[in-house]
Amino acid sequence: MGYTLIRVAALLVTFGLLGASALAQADKPNPRDSAKIQDCIKTKTGRNWNWENCLGIVSNTCTKDEASMTPSQVMDCINREQLVWDDILNETFRRLREKLDDTRRTKLRDMQLTWIVSRDKSYGFLMDYFDGSMANPMIADCVNRETGRRALYLLGLLNGAEGK
């Protein structure tokens, strides 16, 4: 239930249907976690950038002793990182949207909505496929990775639009 509420709130913020103050009442990313991921992105920029190496840098550190952790503790670690990727995704979407004409804005929105449907179908499959207590951490990890990948994809588009 909480996961769905956060996902709906993130979607509404992404498309400007809910004010930023409403999201501020939900979980916010830890500034240190944000700085760690932003620093990683900056160091992986250039001719041979490899931003995907930044995926997991917060959650993997937090879950280094995963075998001794409960599934909810593992999920908490993963969710810490996902909050950062959600923030990057929403900000990048907003900035990219501002650079586009009306036709391309509509196409960007449609592309994102299609991605959200695909992402959600993947999670639904995982929930059905992996039954039991491990399903939730696996889904949280998938949500984190896919949100991060999408944020990086949009960041690449934005950097291209800005001539970087």
Structural domain boundaries enclosing 86? 30-161
Rounded to two decimals, the pTM is 0.79
**What distance in Å separates the CA atoms of residue 34 and residue 47, rounded to the nearest whole number?**
24
Q: Does residue 97 form part of some domain?
A: yes
The angle, 0 to 180 degrees and rounded to 10, between the axes of the packed helices 2-14 and 102-129 is 170
Q: What angle do CA 106, 111, 114 make, to 5 degrees?
A: 125
Q: Does residue 25 form part of some domain?
A: no
Contact 57, 40 (CB under 8 A): yes
State how many domains the chain has.
1
Q: Does residue 23 form part of some domain?
A: no
Residue 24: its pLDDT value, please?
Answer: 45
Is residue 26 scored above 60 in pLDDT? no
Is residue 15 scored above 80 in pLDDT? no
Contact 147, 82 (CB under 8 A): yes
Q: Does residue 134 form part of some domain?
A: yes
Q: Does residue 10 form part of some domain?
A: no
* Placement of tokens 């639009």 in the chain: 161
Residue 102: its pLDDT value, please?
Answer: 97
Contact 63, 74 (CB under 8 A): yes
Q: Which residues contact 154 (CB under 8 A, 6 or more apart)?
A: 89, 92, 93, 96
Is residue 10 scored above 60 in pLDDT? no
Q: Does residue 5 form part of some domain?
A: no
Q: Which residues contact 83 (CB under 8 A, 6 or more apart)?
A: 27, 28, 29, 30, 33
Residue 12: its pLDDT value, please?
Answer: 43
* pLDDT tens readout for residues 57-112: 999 999 998 889 998 899 999 999 999 999 999 999 999 999 999 999 999 999 99
Q: Does residue 4 form part of some domain?
A: no
* pLDDT tens readout for residues 125-147: 888 888 777 788 888 998 999 99
Q: Which residues contact 94 (CB under 8 A, 6 or more apart)?
A: 16
Q: Does residue 1 form part of some domain?
A: no
